[in-house]
Structure 1
Amino acid sequence: MPSQPIVIVLAAGKGQRYLASGGTTHKLAASLAGSTVLAHVVSAVEASGLQVHIVKSAAGDGIADSIAAGVCATADAAGWLILPGDLPLIQPESLRQVADALARHTVVVPHYRGQQGHPVGFGKACFDALSRLSGDVGAKSVIQKYRLTDEVFDLSIDDQGLVTDVDTVEDLSRAEDLFVRAINQA
């Protein structure tokens, strides 16, 4: 069994909001700074040193179905970091911080300047609840269950990539601007 959590990258959605906003391809295949949105996410996971499992299809249409599929496919993992595939600016160090905190907590919820972000980390104790998820509500019910028992750790991380998702063409343009600004500041 792996000693580190596995990052479950959710890539099974239809990207309907992106297409409705004028996108000509699926949002995860959209070009961002010379690569695709999804490739940026996978690259960050690989740079973090954590294992990755990409969910490209699930039995149902909802995000919770994708989470359940990913967790069931990696049932021997020490835990899971649930990362939507549309967060191309996520930093490898942020993934490490969530993984490190998960070694001491059952659920880890990252925040950027007070806004809840991703990836949310879930320990092995969450397997049953995560594997039974279905629909389009994500894992909020699992977080709420563990919050009632004070087993949720809210982790503040200074990474705008935790909350910068690509749901529309305008979001992609904003992400591109942020990406270029970060390169110029480095």
Structure 2
Amino acid sequence: MTTGIVIAAAGRSERFIRAGGSGNKLNAPLGERTLFAQTLQQAQASGLPLVVVTRPDNQPVRRHCAAHHVETVLLDSRGLGDSIAAGVAARPQWDGWLIHLADMPFVPAEIFRQTAAALQKYAIARPCVNGRPGHPVGFSATLRNALCALRGDDGGRSVLFGREVHLISVDNPGIVQDIDLPSQLADSE
């Protein structure tokens, strides 16, 4: 059974820019790397196959993926739903997909592996910390068509709605910590 990671990196960084940030937040420095490079490193450390959905004009993300031999799907995304659909459609041979957001650099490799393992028994799995659900969100092949039908800003909410979600209790707040504002970059170092 092959489960892989779809990293959604096709956002426009609108909140980041409105808050005073410059350019796409994924290319902003976070310690020694960029925000995106940190996220990709964590995902690659899991040993799971992965694909990155990014904007055609985000050259830094595209170059970083090429340098690390990670395939990209180019998408002028209108929202997370479009990115999820494109990533899942690009990997129809997988038996499961871990949907991960590129602005969540603090999820360790072990969480990706735990979520992938849970998909061997459950249709949907995701980690949670103190009862709060986080990322990545794992979906089994039984939900392929529903994932490929996503559009706009819905993300995976409509696929989650009314379905049982297996929660994996973890002790790592990184699963709920994203970077939306320039001030969060400095707070995270």
> What TM-score results when the alignment is normalised by the length of structure 2?
0.86
Asked if residue 98 in structure 1 is aligned to residue 115 in structure 2, the reply is yes
**What's the offset of the Cα at 1:130?**
0.2
Who is 2:138 aligned against? 121
CA RMSD across the alignment: 1.2
Q: Distance in 1 between matches of 2:187 and 2:49?
A: 29
**What's the offset of the Cα at 1:134?**
0.4
Asked if residue 84 in structure 1 is aligned to residue 101 in structure 2, the reply is yes
Asked if residue 21 in structure 1 is aligned to residue 38 in structure 2, the reply is no
> Moved runs in structure 1, 4+ residues, more than 4 A?
none
Question: Once the two structures are aligned, what percentage of the paired residues are identical?
Answer: 37
Who is 2:173 aligned against? 160
> What TM-score results when the alignment is normalised by the length of structure 1?
0.87
Asked if residue 174 in structure 1 is aligned to residue 174 in structure 2, the reply is no
Aligned with 1:136: secondary structure? Answer: helix
Question: Which segments of 5 or more consecutive residues in structure 1 lack a partner in the other structure?
Answer: 177-186
Whether contact under 8 Å (1:164, 1:175) holds in the other structure is no
Q: Give the stretch that moved more between structures: 128-137 or 49-58.
A: 49-58
Aligned with 1:171: secondary structure? Answer: helix
Q: Give the stretch that moved more between structures: 51-60 or 69-78.
A: 51-60
Who is 2:64 aligned against? none
Aligned with 2:114: secondary structure? Answer: helix
Among candidates 138, 150, 162, match of residue 155 of structure 2: 138
Aligned with 1:125: secondary structure? Answer: helix
Q: Distance in 2 between matches of 1:75 and 1:91?
A: 25
Q: Give the stretch that moved more between structures: 22-31 or 120-129.
A: 22-31
Q: Distance in 1 between matches of 2:188 and 2:38?
A: 11
Superposition map of 1:49-68 within 5 A: 49-57=47-55, 58=75, 60-68=77-85
Among candidates 28, 31, 35, match of residue 30 of structure 1: 28
Q: Distance in 2 between matches of 1:123 and 1:169?
A: 35
